[in-house]
A and B are shown apart, each in its own frame.
Chain A
Amino acid sequence: MAFLLPHLRSGWAVDQAILTEEERLVVLRFGRDADDTCMSMDETLSSVADKVKNFAVIYCVDIEEVPDFNAMYELYDPCTVMFFFRNKHIMIDLGTGNNNKINWAMDDKQEFVDIVEVVYAGARKGRGLVVSPKDYSTKYRY
């Protein structure tokens, strides 16, 4: 479903996408389009993109095409979703121990929408860290 989502093809484009969006949350999905995990995540993302278009914008970044952030953002999972608001990385306490990102594929659309909402609301109030509405400590296994 990655083809339904806008892609960012260079590091410059990624930075510009984050910098230029002033009102909405920027949701970046890092990963490879052909990856199974990414595919299922993209399914969710593409189906909610329209729902959240008022307060969030969703992009896909292929980590092979754009390797510039791999070390910086520790992009070694098959699929990683990160949130930015006005050039600020917003962290979410998901209960997994990694507050920086969602590094698994979410298949429940409503859950994802809830998370995006919470992040947006927190970011608007100037929070750098928000708490996820649902605890994913049992969902994600290292």
Chain B
Amino acid sequence: MAGRGYAPPTNFGEAPKGYVPGIGRGAAGFMTRSDLGGAVAPAPGQTGLGEGAGSRSALAKFQRENAEKQAEAAAAGGGGDADEDKDFDKFEGADGGLFANAEYDEDDEEADRIYAEIDAHMDSRRRAQREARLKEELEKYRRDNPKITEQFRDLKRKLGDVSYEEWDAIPDIGDYTIKKKKDFAQFAPAPDTLLQRALDEKGVSTQEVDDGALTDLNAVGEGRGTVLGLKLDKLSDSVSGQTVVDPKGYLTDLKSIKISSEAEISDIKKARLLLKSVISTNPKHAPGWIAAARLEELAGKLQAARSFIQKGCDACPKSEDVWIEAARLNTPENAKAILARGVVSLPNSVKIWMQAAKLEAEDDRKRRVLRRALENIPNSVKLWKAVVDLSREDDARVLLSRAVECCPQHVDLWLALARLETYEQARKVLNKARETLPTEPAIWITAAKLEEANGNGAMVGKIVERAVKSLGNHGVSVDREYWLKEAEAAEKNDPPALAVCREIVRVTVGAGVEEEDMKRTWKADAAECEKRGSTHTARAILAHACGVFPAKKGLWVLAAKLEKSVGDSAAMDALLKRAVVHCPRAEVLWLMAAKERWLCGDVPGARDVLEEAFVVNPDSEDIWLAAFKLEFENREPERARVLLAKIREKEGGASERVWMKSAIVEREVGDVAEERRMLAGGLEKFPTAWKMWLMLGQLEEAQGDVDAARTAYTKGCRRCHDAIPLWTAAATLEQRSGFSAKARAILEQARTRNPKNEWLWLAATRQERAADPSGVDPEAIKAADALLSKGLQECPASGALWAEAVKMAPRPQRKAKSVDALKRCDNDPRIIASIANLFWQDRKVDKARSWFNRSCTIDPDIGDHWAAYYRFELQHGGDAAAAAVAKRCREADPKHGELWQRVGKNVKNWHDDAETLLKKCVAEMGAGEA
């Protein structure tokens, strides 16, 4: 027994012929998942591995082979080919139905034959009657519903006889639409594009006429015009048509047509009725007549309006409004006549006279009318002014001198007269004016201006003082605001009356201000004036204030700032000199003075100033440091050293700044030993001065003494936990000497000491990347990414980190990243700059420019962005644009930015200005990219 042994039997012999594995054993397949397909779906094709999910099965194969065998057996009689398609049924498809595989034997054949016979028999019954009935029904239907072609068959037959002439003579069908016809045309304004095109076409056509190619284009255009004209004529002539068009007046009429809706018309009717009753009950009431006339005008009936107002003039001749309305409604010629009648009945009406003058076209005639008017009404200022405006200078003077007699109460006239007169005469006129109008400050101010304009500056002060006094005597209180406005006006005068301005301020600025409020009020006044651009007034106010409070250094500083903003360095210098005399203890003033000198290039002058300052303030460290800075910036390290040594030796001890500056000088000179000594000395006294620790570390690093540098950093970090640059410098040192793990640890420590610090995260990210400079190591990139995302979690609003993330993201994701970044911290200059960089990479020049501009505007203190912007402009914008950027950068004088600080802190670049640094940064960027 093969099955009983423990060793599994394998030899089972040959398979019998035609054996089908599986089926032969009686096994059936299964379908695990219907969506993958099962084992029981037969379809033609070959069996294949990996097609198991497909459509066939051993069962189907077995069935098919069976069927083939049967077909072969049956082929003796039928001779038909045992085709695979024989399973296919027209109605049931390839499934074949329940008995598809059953044998078709003789019984079946007989049954089929009998069924067929029955069918034939049933069909033969009453066939003749049935077919006859069908035929009849069809004919009946055709008779009832004849085709159109059949209907007109007899008529069509005759068409063969029609000649060509008769065809042409058949009239066209007319327009028999029942709908209301539209007006003959609709007018819509021709669009500009059309007109422009027409113009262009015309140009082309004339050009072509010149060429002689198309001579007829213009003629065609004109021909069209004539045709249109003819059409219009025809329309206008047609009597039967509803619209009759006057071709000439048509367009002008269009404008004047008043389209009245039903409602409006009824309103007008009502109003007309109402006004009629007003007029009839009270004919002496002028507004009634005017209203009636206006109503008719509104309704578009000018004639009626005119007749109404005419009646109005007759009914109430003493109302000037009626006369003016009548003049308005009539044509200019008629209006003159009406106004002439008007002045006869109302000789004292200024309005009518003015209207009459206005109607005249020529100046001469106008003048004549006005003179007539002045004869009747000599005290009308309006008339005087009108006539003076129209007259020449000489006449005007004469007229004004008469005018001031007639209306002495009007300052304008007096002032106008004074302006026209010579100096002497003007003085007299003003004096007279003052007598008649003692309460008018404008006269005084004009007098003062007059004196100043004629070089009589000394008088100005007196006049203003007297003005204030006499005005006071006449009970006019001095209003500071008013006088300050006057002062500003005097400053804005052409030519500026500066003396007047100054004097007014001097005399009036203190008026009505309490002693304790003075300083504050004056400061506010000066600020206001400066804001309005009246620097002289502001200066005068501050000068006065400084005169009153000479010991207040705030005022002096304000005044100096004002001078600085005006840009007058000499004045500022003088002012500061006075200031330091008054407040010798104010360091700010000294420093300002020295800086001003220095900025003007006067280094010895600045030195002198500082020396004086030393004399007065021997203990002021600020001044010492300023002196040091002066020497240092002017490349005088020896002097600077001496200065610093002096400060250090002073009793009371120097501050940490001094020690640091000392070290800086030594670094500049390159004296390592001395620098180390300085730093050691400084750190002994100020162990928490992280900058000095950093300097020490850098010094040692530069000397190549890594251990010493490490010690310096470690000590520094221990004492100053929150000095981020110190931590990063320490980490960089480790990284550079090849101890990445140590660097990582340092940064980790720094992060625990200073949580939520974006710079530490940034440094860590960069460090991970720096570990793999070629950027191909996926581990390093992954680590950097992880750090960055952690950092972003801790500081989600950090622009620096987001910018780094945008920069680090693979190119296709940068856009999405930048959108994210913008969403998180909108308006962060770093992110905006990085986006600008993206645009730059994509060559979207305009966008890049605007984004760079934005980043530089948001924070002009970041030098990196300026450098990127400058580089971008050099590449895409040309030299002019780049120079503009450089200029803006110089004005902004940036101090921050990673690259900027790195370049700026290089000893070689210490004394460079912003523009040089900018160029160096750009060179560095280029080198970095290459």
Interface residue ranges, A against B (CB under 8 Å):
6-8, 10-24, 53-54, 57-59, 63-64, 66-76, 87, 89, 98, 100
Interface residue? B455 (CB, 8 A)? no
Interface membership of B52, Cβ < 8 A: yes
- The CA of A38 and the CA of B19, in the complex, are separated in Å by 28
The interface residues of chain B lying within 8 Å CB-to-CB of A64 are 49
Within 8 A of A (CB), among B11-70: 12-16, 19-22, 24-33, 36, 38-39, 47-54, 56-59
Please give, as numbers and ranges, the residues of chain B lying within 8 Å of A100 by CB-CB distance: 30, 32
Establish whether residues A70 and B8, one from each chain, have CB atoms under 8 Å apart when the complex forms.
no
Bound complex: CA A50 to CA B856 (Å)? 82
- Identify which of A7, A10, A89, A98 contacts B27 (C-beta below 8 A): A89
Q: Are A18 and B25 in contact (CB under 8 A)?
A: yes
Query: In the bound complex, do residue B30 and residue A12 qualify as a contact, i.e. CB atoms below 8 Å apart?
Result: no
Q: How far is the CB of A59 from chain B (nearest CB, A)?
A: 6
Asked if B25 contacts A98 (CB within 8 A), the reply is: no
Interface-central residue, A18, A70, A87, A98, by most chain B CB under 10 Å? A70
> Known: A7-B10, A23-B3, A63-B49. Is A69-B25 also a contact (CB below 8 A)?
no
Contact B39 A22 (CB under 8 A): no
Pair A66/B21 contact, Cβ less than 8 Å: yes
Q: A20-B12, A73-B39 are in contact. Are A53 and B25 (CB under 8 A)?
A: no
**Within 8 Å CB of A87, what residues of B?**
25-27
Q: Tell me, yes or no, whether B155 is within 8 Å of chain A by CB.
A: no
A10-B25 Cα distance, complex, nearest whole Å: 14
Q: Is B93 an interface residue (CB 8 A)?
A: no
Chain A residues closer than 8 Å to B58, beta-carbon distance = 68-69, 71-72
* Sample of 4 further A-B pairs with CB below 8 A, known A12-B16, A21-B3: A7-B10, A68-B58, A72-B59, A74-B38
Instruction: Determine if A10 and B15 form an interchain contact, defined as CB atoms under 8 angstroms apart.
Output: yes
The one of B13, B21, B57 in contact with A11, judged by C-beta atoms closer than 8 angstroms, is B21
The answer to whether A15 touches B57, judged by C-beta atoms less than 8 angstroms apart, is no
Residues of chain B contacted by A66 (CB below 8 angstroms): 21
Inter-subunit contact A20/B9 (CB<8 Å): yes
Q: Is B27 within 8 A of A75, CB to CB?
A: no
Instruction: Return A85 CB to nearest CB of chain B, in Å.
Output: 12
Q: Which of B3, B19, B32 contacts A74 (CB 8 A)?
A: B32
| Contact flag A15-B22 (CB < 8 Å), given A71-B47, A75-B52, A100-B32 | yes
Q: Known interface pairs A11-B15, A76-B53. Does A68 touch B8 (Cβ–Cβ under 8 Å)?
A: no
On whether the beta carbons of B47 and A70 are closer than 8 Å, the reply is yes
Query: CB within 8 A of A98: which of B28, B32, B59?
Result: B32
A76 to B20, CA, bound (A): 20
Contact across chains for A70 and B30 when beta carbons are under 8 A apart: no
With contacts A21-B3, A69-B21, A71-B47 taken as known, whether A76 is within 8 angstroms of B12 at the C-beta atoms is: no
Is there contact, CB below 8 Å, between A14 and B21?
yes
Contact of B4 with A by CB under 8 A: yes
Q: Which residues from chain B sit less than 8 Å from chain A, CB to CB?
A: 2-4, 6, 8-10, 12-16, 19-22, 24-33, 36, 38-39, 47-54, 56-59
Bound-complex Cα distance A109 to B51 (A): 32
* Interface CB pairs A-B, < 8 A, 9: A13-B10, A17-B9, A59-B8, A63-B49, A66-B21, A70-B47, A72-B57, A72-B59, A87-B25
Please, how many angstroms separate the alpha-carbon atoms of A72 and B30 in the complex?
7
CA distance A87 to B51 in the complex (A): 26
A70 CA / B15 CA spacing, docked (Å): 19
Q: How far is the CB of B3 from chain A (nearest CB, A)?
A: 5
Contact present for B4 and A23 (CB under 8 Å): yes
A71 to B2, CA, bound (A): 29
Residues of A within 8 A of B21 (CB): 10-12, 14-15, 66, 68-69
**Complex Cα–Cα for A138 and B10 (A):** 36
State the Cβ distance, A89 to closest chain B Cβ, in Å: 7
Query: A57: shortest Cβ distance to chain B, in Å?
Result: 4
A100 to B36, CA, bound (A): 15
Taking each of B3, B20, B28, B38, which has the highest tally of chain A beta carbons within 10 Å of its own beta carbon?
A: B3
A74 B8 Cβ-Cβ under 8 A? no
Interchain CA distance A62-B9 in the complex, whole Å: 17
Given contacts A16-B12, A68-B58, contact A74 B30 (CB under 8 A): yes
Task: Tell me which of B9, B12, B20, B54 contacts A71 (CB under 8 A).
Answer: B54
A125 to B368: give the CA distance in the assembly, Å: 140
Return the chain B residue nearest A76 by Cβ: B52
- Which of chain B's residues have a CB closer than 8 A to the CB of A15? 21-22, 24-25, 27
List chain B residues, Cβ under 8 A from A63: 49
Nearest CB in chain A to that of B14: its residue: A12
Closest Cβ neighbor of B53 among chain A residues:
A76
Q: Tell me which residues across on chain B come within 8 A of A76, comparing CB atoms.
A: 50, 52-53
Closest partner residue, chain A, to B31 (CB atom): A74
Residue of B nearest to A87 (CB): B25
B685 to chain A, nearest CB (A): 69
Shortest Cβ distance from B851 into chain A, in angstroms? 48
A72-B12 contact given A21-B3, A23-B3, CB 8 Å threshold: no
Q: Once bound together, how far apart are the Cα atoms of A81 and B875, in whole Å? A: 70
Say yes or no: A22 contacts B3, CB within 8 Å. Answer: yes
Contacts of B2 in A (CB 8 A): 20
Instruction: Say whether, besides A12-B14, A12-B21, A72 and B9 are in contact (CB < 8 Å).
Output: no
B47 contact set on A, CB distance < 8 A: 67, 70-71
Closest-by-CB residue of B relative to A5 is B8
Decide if B12 touches A13 in the complex (CB within 8 Å): yes
| Complex-state Cα separation, A23 to B6, whole angstroms | 11
| Given A11-B15, A12-B12, A12-B14, A73-B29 contact (CB < 8 Å) | yes
Q: Which chain B residue has the least Cβ–Cβ distance from A77?
A: B52
**Measured CA separation A67–B28 after assembly (Å):** 16
User: Is there contact, CB below 8 Å, between B10 and A8?
Assistant: yes
Residues of B within 8 A of A7 (CB): 10
Residues of B within 8 A of A20 (CB): 2-3, 9, 12
* A9 CB to nearest chain B CB (Å): 8
Distance, CA A4 to CA B142, complexed state (A): 92
- The residues of A that contact B6 with a CB separation of less than 8 Å are 53-54
Q: Chain A's nearest CB lies how many Å from the CB of B18?
A: 11
Residues of B within 8 A of A59 (CB): 8, 10
* Choice from B4, B10, B33 contacting A6 with Cβ under 8 Å: B10
- What residue in chain A is nearest B6 (Cβ atoms)? A53
In this complex, what residue of B is CB-closest to A18?
B25
Are B8 and A6 in touch, CB under 8 angstroms? yes
Q: Which residue of A lies closest to B59 (CB)?
A: A72
Cβ of A72 and Cβ of B39 under 8 Å apart?
Answer: yes
Q: Are B29 and A72 in contact (CB under 8 A)?
A: yes
The residues of B that contact A67 with a CB separation of less than 8 Å are: 47-49
Chain A min CB distance to B173 (Å): 78
Q: Is the pair A19, B9 in contact by a Cβ cutoff of 8 Å?
A: no
Chain B contacts of A70 at CB under 8 A?
47, 49, 51-52
A8 to chain B, nearest CB (A): 7
Contacts of B54 in A (CB 8 A): 71
Nearest Cβ distance between residue B120 and chain A, in whole angstroms? Answer: 48
Residues of A contacting B50 with CB < 8 Å?
76
Q: Which 4 A-B pairs have the closest CB atoms?
A: A11-B21, A12-B15, A16-B12, A72-B29
In the complex the two chains form, what is the Cα distance from A57 to B54 in whole Å? 31
Contacts of B8 in A (CB 8 A): 6, 17, 57-59
Alpha-carbon distance between A11 and B15 when the two chains are bound, in angstroms: 8
List chain B residues, Cβ under 8 A from A8.
10
- Hey, which chain A residues are within 8 Å of B10, CB to CB? 6-8, 13, 17, 59
Chain B residue at minimum C-beta to C-beta distance from A11: B21
| CB pair A74 B12 closer than 8 Å | no
Q: Quote the shortest CB–CB distance from A60 to chain B (angstroms).
A: 10
Distance to closest chain A CB from B51 (angstroms): 8
Q: Provide the bound-state CA to CA distance between A63 and B48, in Å.
A: 10
* Interface core residue of B21, B22, B38, B51 (most chain A CB under 10 Å): B21
CA distance A84 to B183 in the complex (A): 98
Q: Is A74's CB under 8 angstroms from B53's CB?
A: yes
Q: Which residues on the A side are within 8 Å of B3 (C-beta)?
A: 20-24
Q: How many Å lie between the Cα of A11 and that of B32 in the bound state?
A: 22
